[in-house]
Amino acid sequence: MFRILKKREEESDENLLLRYQQTGDRFVLGLLLRRYSDKIYGTCHYYLRNETDTEDAAMEVCELVVRKLQPKTEIKSFKDWIFIVARNYCFRKLKENQRLIEISKDWQKNFAEPVVQKPESDALYLEEEHLFNRLDQELQQLNTSQQQCLIAFYWRGERYKEIASRLNMSVDEVRSAIQNGRRNLKNRLI
């Protein structure tokens, strides 16, 4: 058994990749991913600069590779291909984080801070004031976890992991609470 494992570990990337594409044996893909796990982690760390984000991203890149790698996928160099997949994933994550920061700033600007400037007409001012009051009332009607998660995410700009650790919830529970809370809030406001 150990000889077979050692032989597979010594095989070239091209042979392992070809074997995976022919058989779909995830063990073979695991050998390839293990071979480049440091490269994936290093690439993610270079772009994301945060230990927890890096760990999450490295795991998600491996899952992405499993989904993307099809029998007909033509890859000349697995090493280069996996670097590109990891780099592109990090770029998407950075862009998404930037978008979330902008949404958070919009939320703070539009919903969290009191209205300082009076709009051009009193009617608009009263309508805005009514909308803010209604938003606050509807937010209070959500269940506690949705309420806390929405405020933490949009108003304080916290990340899912930060919210999860502070509220003793899993990241999936936080994600679900934010999505459901946002949907419920939208339905209540329409």
User: How many helices and strands, by DSSP H and E, does the chain display?
Assistant: 10, 0
Q: Are residues 139 and 174 located together in one domain of the fold?
A: yes
Q: What is the pLDDT confidence band of residue 2, given thresholds at 50, 70 and 90?
A: very low
Q: Are residues 68 and 143 located together in one domain of the fold?
A: no
Q: Are residues 79 and 127 located together in one domain of the fold?
A: no
Distances (CA, A) of 61 to 2, 56, 91, 162: 28, 9, 12, 22
CA–chain centroid gap for 118, Å, is 38
Number of domains in the chain: 2
3-class DSSP state of 121: coil
Q: For residue 89, is pLDDT > 70?
A: yes
Q: For residue 66, is pLDDT > 70?
A: yes
Confidence (pTM): 0.52
Q: Are residues 88 and 129 located together in one domain of the fold?
A: no
Q: For residue 43, is pLDDT > 80?
A: yes
Q: How far apart are CA 77 and CA 98, in angstroms?
A: 32
Residue 105 falls inside a structural domain: no
On whether the CB atoms of residues 39 and 85 are closer than 8 A, the answer is: no
Place of tokens 């993610």: 44
**Residue 1, pLDDT score:** 45
**Residue 115, pLDDT score:** 46
Q: Are residues 124 and 163 located together in one domain of the fold?
A: yes
